């Protein structure tokens, strides 16, 4: 019922948005809201801009793309600032075809689809409203009705420049239907729709022999020639090619460079002069954004061919490389899984991250700078802090690898491998190791990977696994230490007592026998070593702790287990090292004793409740970390 209501509401809304009136009435609208007369390029730009913008670290983040496209902020900023923005201001770039060039499955089609869906919605808003001559198959701009010789006057009065001349069909209709009375011509509001072929056209290359230019520019309607008496009567022509239908909006050319030349030449004149030739008519004006996409190999062979020079100079190429940030890559996978039929499957925490480590590694170029390896570069790119490096280094790294992101493993491959891992497993729950294993096995079947790359990729899987191992250990450590919080506190108090005695050069007293003894150096060192405090640095560290301790005491505050960040880390690590055996027991065949079992169950519960595991993946994690510790 709910959905039917929504359908009804949508229809009602649409009815309310409808508008129809004379050209005279339309001009009143133009006067009040000149934006209804904007060009297709300006409309795209205002659509993107109006959706909102945030700035982060000097980078622009466009809300329009933000929820769907991840990690491509720089490419998108370039796309908007170097193409859409100047094109909106009628600068020369709008006379070029926009060509998105990038590796397979890197998001090119997704970007174009976003623009198309965005256009459909935008034309339903006030700011994005579009008007057209009613009954025109090309939804011609009503302003074309203003005769050429009056356009300067129109500009003086309205501040709007009119481009393009009235089409042959509407010229004829103006005479025959309206007796030349421009002011009476009926204008209507139109709504872009790919399905209804209004303002959005798509063209995909197929067999060049059977593909007809009519698909682009329309064709003669033989059934009506008899009625109108001549092939050159525009009423005997069907203006229903994709270029006709896309007028006022956008035209997508999929795999443009695969197209036959004769198609491309039409694009030349359309982009350059804003018109194209159809049938036996004068040139037909069209105002549309032309966006095409292709991959790098095809692009290279296209520009290598001298014959394509003229076309090439009318193309603006926007590189759309792969995302290079691990955390964004994870989001891509999450989105793809949400959109797939795998939604019922439990994906253990960090499983997608492990895959993302791998795919990002395959896309990165080995840094030339000394002191930095691929893993550090990967972390820096993702905005992590890496000791000894800063933002300037990141910029330098990017500069030395301008072409980065054009190669490597694509997201679709990863998703395919994840689904095959799911199919293989009996339970609908997969973890990082399942994913990495599946990625590895898939490399053999991946036809387009050279032996050399394969070897490199195998190595990246090993690195991704190592990164994951660290995460897994930390995760278990956190969960264990929490269950052992009491022990952590006891251990800390014990340490503090010893530190106090050490710094004040006092003796300790054995709680049982009352005997005097020296501070327990072995205990203190075993904790300090966990966070890499050297023999030379121990005194300073202990004094620092003591100062913190007395500062707390002075303020009447209790020194807690987490009052000193590094000490907390040291205590946790030490405790975990002591607990190794407990973890190991869970993996051994022998039945653990009851007390241990209870703790282990607590840890599993904690992993489930607070860290997003289910019981399968939590037990798998414990078992795995146990085996890591046994090495």
Residues that bind Mg ion (CB under 5 A): 109
Q: Which of residues 243-302 bind ligand ATP (CB under 6 A)?
A: 295
Six-digit token pair at 607? 């992993």
Q: Which of residues 389-428 bind ligand ATP (CB under 6 A)?
A: 411-412
| Interacting residue with ligand ATP among 94, 106, 326, 430 (CB under 6 A) | 106
Query: Cβ atoms within 10 A of the Cβ of 152, count?
Result: 10
The one of ligand ATP, Mg ion, none whose footprint includes residue 295, by CB under 5 to 8 A per kind, is ligand ATP
Beta strand 346-347 with 429-430 is parallel
The residues, any chain, with a CB within 8 Å of residue 283's CB and separated by 6 or more, are: 269, 273, 275, 276, 277
Q: Which of residues 549-608 bind ligand ATP (CB under 6 A)?
A: none
Question: Nearest approach, Cβ of 424 to ligand ATP (angstroms)?
Answer: 23
Question: Nearest approach, Cβ of 333 to ligand ATP (angstroms)?
Answer: 9
Question: Nearest approach, Cβ of 251 to ligand ATP (angstroms)?
Answer: 17
The one of ligand ATP, Mg ion, none whose footprint includes residue 367, by CB under 5 to 8 A per kind, is none
What is the C-alpha separation between 347 and 337, in angstroms, rounded?
A: 10
Q: Nearer Cβ to ligand ATP, position 108 or 124? A: 108
CA atoms within 13 A on the CB side of 415: 19
The one of ligand ATP, Mg ion, none whose footprint includes residue 493, by CB under 5 to 8 A per kind, is none
- The reply to whether 107 sits near ligand ATP by the rule CB under 6 A is yes
Contact region with ligand ATP (CB under 6 A), list: 98-106, 122-130, 431-439, 573-581: 98-106
Question: Nearest approach, Cβ of 109 to Mg ion (angstroms)?
Answer: 3
Helices and strands (DSSP H and E) totals, the chain: 28, 18
Closest C-alpha to 232, from 221, 223, 247: 221
Question: Nearest approach, Cβ of 202 to Mg ion (angstroms)?
Answer: 12
Question: Nearest approach, Cβ of 158 to ligand ATP (angstroms)?
Answer: 40
The one of Mg ion, ligand ATP, none whose footprint includes residue 71, by CB under 5 to 8 A per kind, is ligand ATP
Question: Nearest approach, Cβ of 70 to ligand ATP (angstroms)?
Answer: 4
Q: Nearer Cβ to ligand ATP, position 26 or 70? A: 70
Question: Nearest approach, Cβ of 471 to ligand ATP (angstroms)?
Answer: 23
**Per-residue interface string for the shown chain with ligand ATP, residues 335-354, x marking contact by CB under 6 A:** xx------------------
The one of Mg ion, ligand ATP, none whose footprint includes residue 69, by CB under 5 to 8 A per kind, is ligand ATP
Q: Nearer Cβ to ligand ATP, position 111 or 570? A: 111
The one of Mg ion, ligand ATP, none whose footprint includes residue 412, by CB under 5 to 8 A per kind, is ligand ATP
What is the C-alpha separation between 209 and 490, in angstroms, rounded?
A: 83
| Interacting residue with ligand ATP among 72, 256, 267, 418 (CB under 6 A) | 72
Question: Nearest approach, Cβ of 67 to ligand ATP (angstroms)?
Answer: 10
Long-range contacts of 229-238 (CB under 8 A, 24+ apart): 231/279, 231/280, 232/279, 232/280, 232/281, 233/172, 234/167, 234/168, 234/169, 234/171, 234/172, 234/279, 234/281, 235/169, 235/172, 237/169, 237/278, 237/279, 237/281, 238/137
- The reply to whether 321 sits near ligand ATP by the rule CB under 6 A is no
**Per-residue interface string for the shown chain with ligand ATP, residues 48-67, x marking contact by CB under 6 A:** --------------------
Q: Where are the alpha helices (DSSP H) in 369-528?
A: 374-381, 391-400, 411-424, 432-445, 451-483, 485-503, 521-528
The one of ligand ATP, Mg ion, none whose footprint includes residue 102, by CB under 5 to 8 A per kind, is ligand ATP
Question: Nearest approach, Cβ of 254 to ligand ATP (angstroms)?
Answer: 8
Q: Nearer Cβ to ligand ATP, position 332 or 422? A: 332
Q: Nearer Cβ to ligand ATP, position 246 or 406? A: 406
Q: Say if residues 491 and 485 touch (Cβ distance below 8 Å).
A: no
Six-digit token pair at 620? 């798998």
Closest C-alpha to 421, from 517, 518, 348: 348
Q: Where are the alpha helices (DSSP H) in 186-230?
A: 214-217, 222-228
Q: Nearer Cβ to Mg ion, position 54 or 109? A: 109
Question: Nearest approach, Cβ of 320 to ligand ATP (angstroms)?
Answer: 7
DSSP for residue 84? I
Q: Is 535 exposed, middle or buried (0-12, 13-18, 19+ CB in 10 A)?
A: exposed
The one of ligand ATP, Mg ion, none whose footprint includes residue 110, by CB under 5 to 8 A per kind, is ligand ATP
Q: Which of residues 291-320 bind ligand ATP (CB under 6 A)?
A: 295
The residues, any chain, with a CB within 8 Å of residue 446's CB and separated by 6 or more, are: 413
Element containing residue 20 per DSSP (H, E) = strand 20-22
Contact region with ligand ATP (CB under 6 A), list: 104-112, 125-133, 188-196, 377-385: 104-112
Question: Nearest approach, Cβ of 101 to Mg ion (angstroms)?
Answer: 12
CA torsion sign for 115, 120, 123, 125 is: negative
Q: Is 464 exposed, middle or buried (0-12, 13-18, 19+ CB in 10 A)?
A: buried
Name the site residues for ligand ATP (rule: CB under 6 A).
69-72, 102, 104-110, 295, 323, 332, 335-336, 411-412
């Amino acid at each position: 019922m709910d959905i039917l209501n929504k359908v009804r509401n949508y229809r009602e809304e649409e009815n309310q948005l409808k508008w129809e009136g004379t050209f005279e009435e339309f001009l009143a609208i133009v006067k009040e809201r000149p934006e209804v007369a904007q060009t297709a390029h300006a409309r795209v730009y205002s659509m993107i801009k109006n959706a909102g913008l945030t700035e982060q670290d000097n980078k622009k983040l466009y809300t329009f793309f933000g929820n769907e496209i991840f990690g491509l902020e720089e490419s998108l900023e370039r796309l908007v600032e170097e193409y859409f923005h100047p094109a909106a201001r009628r600068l020369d770039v709008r006379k070029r075809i926009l060509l998105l060039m990038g590796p397979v499955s890197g998001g090119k089609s997704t970007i174009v689809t976003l623009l198309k869906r965005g256009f459909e919605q935008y034309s339903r808003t006030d700011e994005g409203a579009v008007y057209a001559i009613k009954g025109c198959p090309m939804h011609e701009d009503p302003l074309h009705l203003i005769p050429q010789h009056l356009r300067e006057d129109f500009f003086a009065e309205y501040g709007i420049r009119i481009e393009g001349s009235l089409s042959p069909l509407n010229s004829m209709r103006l005479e025959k239907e309206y007796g030349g009375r421009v002011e009476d011509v009926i204008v209507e509001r139109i709504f872009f729709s790919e399905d209804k072929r209004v303002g959005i056209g798509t063209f995909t290359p197929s067999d060049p022999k059977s593909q007809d230019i009519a698909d682009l520019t329309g064709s003669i309607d033989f059934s009506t020639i008899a009625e109108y008496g001549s092939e050159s009567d525009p009423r005997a022509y069907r203006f229903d090619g994709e270029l006709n239908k896309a007028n006022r909006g956008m035209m997508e050319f999929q795999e443009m460079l695969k197209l036959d030349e004769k198609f491309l030449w039409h694009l030349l004149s359309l982009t350059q002069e804003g018109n194209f030739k159809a049938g036996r008519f004068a040139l037909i004006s069209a105002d549309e954004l032309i966006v095409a996409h292709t991959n790098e190999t095809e692009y290279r062979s296209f520009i290598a061919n001298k014959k394509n020079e003229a076309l090439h100079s009318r193309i603006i190429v926007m590189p759309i490389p792969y995302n290079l940030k691990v955390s964004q890559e994870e989001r891509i996978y999450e989105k793809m899984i949400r959109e797939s039929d795998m939604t019922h499957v439990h994906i253990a925490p960090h499983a997608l991250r492990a895959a993302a480590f791998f795919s990002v590694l395959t896309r990165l170029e080995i840094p030339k700078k000394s002191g930095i390896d691929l893993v550090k570069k990967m972390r820096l790119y993702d905005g992590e802090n890496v000791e000894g490096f800063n933002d300037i280094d990141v910029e330098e790294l990017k500069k030395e690898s301008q072409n980065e992101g054009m190669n490597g493993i694509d997201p679709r491959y990863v998703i395919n491998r994840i689904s095959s891992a799911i199919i293989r497993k009996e339970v609908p729950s997969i973890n990082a190791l399942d994913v990495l294993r599946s990625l590895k096995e898939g490399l053999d079947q991946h036809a387009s990977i050279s032996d050399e790359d394969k070897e490199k990729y195998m190595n990246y899987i090993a690195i991704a696994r190592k990164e994951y191992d660290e995460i897994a250990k930390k995760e278990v450590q956190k969960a264990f230490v929490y269950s052992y919080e009491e022990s952590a506190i006891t251990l800390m108090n014990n340490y503090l007592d010893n530190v106090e005695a050490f710094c004040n050069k006092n003796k300790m007293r054995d709680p049982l026998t009352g005997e005097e003894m020296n501070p327990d150096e072995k205990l203190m060192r075993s904790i300090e070593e966990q966070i890499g405090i050297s023999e030379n640095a121990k005194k300073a560290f202990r004094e620092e702790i003591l100062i913190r301790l007395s500062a707390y005491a002075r303020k009447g505050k209790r020194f807690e287990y987490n009052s000193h960040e590094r000490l907390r880390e040291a205590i946790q690590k030490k405790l975990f090292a002591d607990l190794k055996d407990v973890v190991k027991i869970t993996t051994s065949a022998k039945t653990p004793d009851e007390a241990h079992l209870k703790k282990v169950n607590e840890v599993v519960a904690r992993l489930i409740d607070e860290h997003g595991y289910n019981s399968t993946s939590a037990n798998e994690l414990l078992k795995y970390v146990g085996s890591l510790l046994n090495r």
